[in-house]
Amino acid sequence: MHRLTVLYPPPVDEAHFRDHYVGTHLPLAAKLPGLVQSQYSFDVASLGGERKYFAVFHADFESAEAMAGALGSEAGKAVAADVANYATGGVEMIHYPLS
Protein backbone atom coordinates (compact mmCIF):
# COMPACT_ATOMS: atom_id res chain seq x y z
CA MET A 1 0.00 0.00 0.00
CA HIS A 2 1.22 3.51 -0.79
CA ARG A 3 -0.07 6.72 0.80
CA LEU A 4 -0.29 10.26 -0.51
CA THR A 5 -0.61 12.86 2.25
CA VAL A 6 -1.60 16.42 1.48
CA LEU A 7 -0.95 19.05 4.15
CA TYR A 8 -2.71 22.41 3.96
CA PRO A 9 -1.37 25.46 5.82
CA PRO A 10 -4.06 27.84 7.12
CA PRO A 11 -5.96 29.50 4.25
CA VAL A 12 -7.05 33.13 4.07
CA ASP A 13 -10.74 32.13 4.38
CA GLU A 14 -11.30 28.95 6.42
CA ALA A 15 -15.06 28.85 5.76
CA HIS A 16 -14.55 29.06 1.98
CA PHE A 17 -11.86 26.35 2.18
CA ARG A 18 -14.19 23.98 4.07
CA ASP A 19 -17.17 24.59 1.78
CA HIS A 20 -15.22 24.21 -1.45
CA TYR A 21 -13.15 21.28 -0.19
CA VAL A 22 -16.15 19.22 0.92
CA GLY A 23 -18.52 20.27 -1.87
CA THR A 24 -16.15 20.26 -4.85
CA HIS A 25 -12.64 18.99 -4.19
CA LEU A 26 -13.37 15.76 -2.32
CA PRO A 27 -15.86 14.60 -4.98
CA LEU A 28 -13.16 15.22 -7.62
CA ALA A 29 -10.58 13.29 -5.57
CA ALA A 30 -13.02 10.39 -5.16
CA LYS A 31 -12.79 9.87 -8.94
CA LEU A 32 -9.02 9.16 -8.86
CA PRO A 33 -8.46 5.80 -10.55
CA GLY A 34 -7.04 3.17 -8.23
CA LEU A 35 -7.94 5.05 -5.05
CA VAL A 36 -8.34 2.42 -2.32
CA GLN A 37 -9.46 4.75 0.45
CA SER A 38 -9.17 8.37 1.56
CA GLN A 39 -9.49 10.32 4.77
CA TYR A 40 -9.35 13.99 5.71
CA SER A 41 -9.55 16.23 8.75
CA PHE A 42 -9.88 19.92 9.50
CA ASP A 43 -8.95 19.31 13.14
CA VAL A 44 -5.15 19.32 12.77
CA ALA A 45 -3.16 20.11 15.91
CA SER A 46 0.54 20.23 16.66
CA LEU A 47 2.13 18.70 19.73
CA GLY A 48 4.59 21.59 19.59
CA GLY A 49 1.90 24.22 20.15
CA GLU A 50 1.89 26.34 16.98
CA ARG A 51 -0.65 25.20 14.40
CA LYS A 52 1.24 24.73 11.15
CA TYR A 53 -1.54 23.03 9.17
CA PHE A 54 -5.25 23.66 8.82
CA ALA A 55 -6.22 20.41 7.09
CA VAL A 56 -4.81 17.04 6.06
CA PHE A 57 -5.83 14.51 3.40
CA HIS A 58 -4.66 10.90 3.01
CA ALA A 59 -5.18 8.84 -0.15
CA ASP A 60 -4.15 5.19 -0.28
CA PHE A 61 -3.22 3.33 -3.47
CA GLU A 62 -1.99 -0.21 -4.10
CA SER A 63 1.46 1.03 -5.13
CA ALA A 64 3.55 4.11 -5.93
CA GLU A 65 2.95 3.35 -9.61
CA ALA A 66 -0.82 3.31 -9.07
CA MET A 67 -0.60 6.66 -7.27
CA ALA A 68 1.50 8.16 -10.08
CA GLY A 69 -0.97 6.88 -12.64
CA ALA A 70 -3.88 8.40 -10.73
CA LEU A 71 -2.19 11.78 -10.42
CA GLY A 72 -1.35 11.78 -14.14
CA SER A 73 -4.87 10.81 -15.20
CA GLU A 74 -7.57 13.24 -16.36
CA ALA A 75 -9.16 12.96 -12.90
CA GLY A 76 -5.80 13.71 -11.30
CA LYS A 77 -5.33 16.76 -13.49
CA ALA A 78 -8.80 18.01 -12.51
CA VAL A 79 -7.97 17.57 -8.81
CA ALA A 80 -4.68 19.45 -9.23
CA ALA A 81 -6.32 22.27 -11.18
CA ASP A 82 -8.92 22.76 -8.44
CA VAL A 83 -6.40 23.35 -5.61
CA ALA A 84 -5.96 27.05 -6.41
CA ASN A 85 -9.71 27.55 -5.91
CA TYR A 86 -9.52 27.05 -2.13
CA ALA A 87 -5.96 26.45 -0.84
CA THR A 88 -4.80 30.07 -0.52
CA GLY A 89 -2.25 29.02 2.12
CA GLY A 90 -0.56 26.65 -0.31
CA VAL A 91 -0.19 22.89 -0.13
CA GLU A 92 2.49 20.36 0.74
CA MET A 93 2.30 16.85 -0.73
CA ILE A 94 4.28 13.86 0.50
CA HIS A 95 4.03 10.14 -0.30
CA TYR A 96 5.40 6.97 1.22
CA PRO A 97 4.92 3.21 1.40
CA LEU A 98 2.88 1.86 4.29
CA SER A 99 4.38 -0.99 6.28
Q: What is the pLDDT of residues 6-32, one digit of tens each?
A: 999 999 999 999 999 999 999 999 999
pLDDT of the residue at 89: 92
Structural domain boundaries enclosing 69: 13-33+64-84
Q: For the chain, what is the mean pLDDT?
A: 96
pLDDT of the residue at 48: 82
d(CA 1, CA 55): 22
Residue 47 covered by a domain? no
Our count of domains for the chain comes to 1
Quick one: which of 69, 71, 92, 85 has its CA closest to 12?
Answer: 85
Q: How confident is the model at residue 78 (pLDDT cuts 50, 70, 90)?
A: very high
Residue 73 covered by a domain? yes
Residue 70 covered by a domain? yes
pLDDT of the residue at 17: 97
Residue 68 covered by a domain? yes
Helices 74-82, 64-72: crossing angle, 10 deg rounding: 70
Residue 96 covered by a domain? no
Average pLDDT estimate for 35-51: 92
Residue 58 covered by a domain? no
- pLDDT above 90 covers a percentage of the chain that reads 92
